[in-house]
Amino acid sequence: MIETLIIADDLTGAADCAVSCATAGADTVVLLDPKANPGGATAVSVDVNSRAMTAQEAGAAVTGALQHLYSKSTCILYHKIDSTLRGNWPSELAQIRQAATEVLGHAPLAIVVPAFPAAGRATIDGHVFVNGTPLGNTGLWKQAGLTGSGDLRAILEDVGFRVRVASLEQVALGSEALKTRLAESADVGCDAVVCDAQTEDDLRTVAAASLMLPRKPLWVGSAGLMRALVRAGKGKVVPTSAPKGAAAGKPVLVVVGSASSVSHMQFDALAEEHDVMPLTILPSALREGRAPEQVQSYAQALDAALAAGSDVAVSIQGEEVNFQEGPQLAAALAELIVPHLSRVGGLIVTGGETARAILDRAGISGLKMQDEVEPGAPLGVSTGDIAIPVITKAGAFGDRTTLKRCRAILRGGRSCHSNSAMSE
């Protein structure tokens, strides 16, 4: 029976959200296809891969996932959204809520909390902040080609929701008081309540309050709220560690497909390691086969390094990249990478589109979640045609040495669960 169902719009987010269930002891899988068999898992996270879709396509994708996997016996229905509000999440939420209504017989109250304090994301007065900066003023927002602001009330009202905001002051009154406010909001016909949160304590209060509601709500947030829900509903986290000898004597392959400056900084730090071969790929070489000879030289260099037993770090950089090019570049990079995976004992991928493209191309149907290197860097084992340890990471998450720590884990190191702050 699926007790927890997570619907996510990209693979890194799906895994990041799901790993909280795994570390609490739940049998947890991430599926790339909602029709795939979850294999008896009690916590299922589905990547519907909708971030680059049209709003209509995204709505159909999330509805289809619910129709296959959601039931009245599901305790937690969670809509995982990007902590910086990218993607089609408002229209997806409307469709998820409608599909849930058809199953439950009543419209669930949406509890909207994108805050992720461990990643520097906060919600204050219903607005999203990243490391203290209003979302609309951040480089992340501008890099994604987005306009407007992180005003959650306005965003939700644009898709027809009746919205209330629970301020930091109201959250600070405690879970009992907040539960009363949430219940009153539902009673007066409110569709969604945006809950402010600036700290982990705030998230714990929201989680505890929402779990006490007489009717199951629909939770909406990043991985931060999911962590709080697991802790509030399941008790203490079960200590786990990365599997010993995870790389099985084979090389570790690190692929950085994100355009984030944070990811490039992490790649540079990893490239400084004496036993890692860095391979930088120009975007122009991947654009619709414009430079087949150059791509072939990259493939030969990658194959030679892996055959020699060297760990390899691959990154797309060196030229300006248009945000809209992401899916095409990710697909081209996957075509280059996947033929070499038979030589690989462990895989680390930064960037949701890149991770999805590589796993799809490799015939990997999902990830059985195991552990977390640090917030935002979950570890799973792939299922399908290839079974290897896989660490996924969103592009803007982590500090300079995050990829170095991930590689150390796949080399048989102990899980460090670093609390280091994540950068924009």
Confidence label for 375 from pLDDT (cuts 50, 70 and 90): confident
Give the tens place of pLDDT for each residue, 8-45.
999 999 999 999 999 999 999 999 999 999 989 999 99
Closest CA to 17 of 385, 394, 409, 389: 394
Confidence label for 403 from pLDDT (cuts 50, 70 and 90): very high
Give the tens place of pLDDT for each residue, 111-139.
999 999 988 899 999 999 999 999 988 87
What is the Cα–Cα distance from 124 to 370, expressed in whole angstroms? 33
The answer, yes or no, to whether residue 238 has pLDDT greater than 60, is no
Share of the chain above pLDDT 70, in %: 91
Average pLDDT, rounded, for the chain: 89
Domains along the chain with CATH numbers:
4-234 (3.40.50.10840), 252-410 (3.40.980.20)
Phi, psi of 236 (to 5 degrees): -70, 150
Q: Which parts of 82-199 are beta strand (E)?
A: 110-113, 121-124, 127-130, 133-134, 163-166, 192-195
Report if pTM > 0.85. yes
What is the secondary structure of 185-201 as a DSSP string? HHHTT--EEEEPBSSHH
Which pLDDT belongs to residue 234? 56
> 194-207 burial, b for 16+ CB within 10 Å, e for fewer?
bbbbbebebbbbbb
SS3 state at 267: helix
Which range has the top average pLDDT, 65-79, 139-153, 242-256, 363-377? 65-79
The answer, yes or no, to whether residue 345 has pLDDT greater than 50, is yes
Classify burial at 300, counting beta carbons within 10 Å of its beta carbon; exposed 0-12, middle 13-18, buried 19 or more. Answer: exposed
The answer, yes or no, to whether residue 355 has pLDDT greater than 50, is yes
Closest CA to 256 of 348, 346, 338: 348
Which pLDDT belongs to residue 248? 66
Phi, psi of 108 (to 5 degrees): -70, 145
> 267-296 burial, b for 16+ CB within 10 Å, e for fewer?
bbbbbeeeebbbbebebebbeeeeeeeebe
